Amino acid sequence: MEGLKKPTCLLRCIVMLMVFVSPTVTTFLSHVASSVAVCRLWIRVSDAVVAADQHTATQEKFLIEEEQRRTARERKIKMVEWIPRLFEQNHITGEWVYKYAE
């Protein structure tokens, strides 16, 4: 491994997403990984995954999820509807489906 550069932010995001994202939605990796904001958000998780530190990765992922829950509660209090950009809900089954699935 000598001579290899430390993985870039984008590469770390891709590695993290491959670990935490279901195979059925991996087709949107290019959409998500290209977002600098997402990359910054997940950098600690992806660093821990690359370092094989499951405990830290889990803790950091929990912090991100808690922040998402907090913002969801705030939206609910303010009665602001959240509309996903990449997923649609199937009105029959109630399942969320990736919009650009083949």
pLDDT in tens, 24-78: 555 555 555 556 566 677 888 988 988 999 999 999 999 999 998 999 999 999 9
Model-level pTM greater than 0.75?
no
CA 69 – CA 90 distance, rounded (Å): 23
Helix (H) or strand (E) holding 75: helix 54-77
Cβ(94)–Cβ(86) below 8 Å:
no
The alpha-carbon radius of gyration of the chain (Å, integer) is: 16
